[in-house]
Amino acid sequence: MLEPELVLTAYRRGIFPMAVDKRGRIGWFSPDPRAVIPLDERFHISHGLRRAWQRKKFAITFNTDFTGVIHECAQRKEGTWISPGINQCYCQLHRLGHAHSVETRLDGKLVGGLYGLALGGAFFGESMFHRVTDASKVALVALVERLRARGFVLLDTQWTTPHLQQFGTFEIPRHEYLWRLEHALNLECRFWGDSQSQ
């Protein structure tokens, strides 16, 4: 079983776990290059997505259904690295205040979202899902807005995908990533809590 403290130590060193087979065996990864989403003006929102965001078609919530989000992320048809052991560990990390979720709702129903881990001024995006068009994208926009408002400086996506590239995701060498990570970990940022918790 994965221990939360081991996982937190790994993230602080630029390493993260993933299940590598159907039996749930865990592998540890530190990609080179590493993909990050910019939190400055380079973060790109398409015109169509901007309209969806501005119309407020979706309701956005934070940390109201972490177990629901990670469960949905694990159901992807193309396979998943989210084994029962990963699920259990990250739910425990959520209870400890380190893992967080963004939920996208339509008529009160969970239709999209994402989850990840926050340490210092770094947020490590783990996975996202959608049941309705744009639902996961809107969750990502909400995440970036929250990270900006709370002083975060690093949004790590591990690897890049065509889905993430549309937002301006770019890759950096591991040594640069570790430098950025060290800087971010020295910041005192709170994803959840205080007067901005809702």
Average pLDDT value over all residues in the chain? 91
Q: Could you give the CA distance from residue 36 to residue 125 in angstroms, rounded to a whole number?
A: 9
Query: What pLDDT, in 10s, does the model give residues 112-145?
Result: 999 999 999 999 999 999 999 989 999 999 999 9
Mean pLDDT of the 93-106 span: 97
Q: Could you give the CA distance from residue 138 to residue 18 in angstroms, rounded to a whole number?
A: 25
Query: Vertex 81, ends 131 and 155: CA angle to 5°?
Result: 75
Query: What pLDDT, in 10s, does the model give residues 80-98?
Result: 789 999 999 999 999 999 9
Torsion of CA 87, 183, 142, 68, to 10 degrees: 10
Query: What pLDDT, in 10s, does the model give residues 1-55?
Result: 799 999 999 999 999 999 998 888 999 999 999 999 999 988 888 877 777 776 7
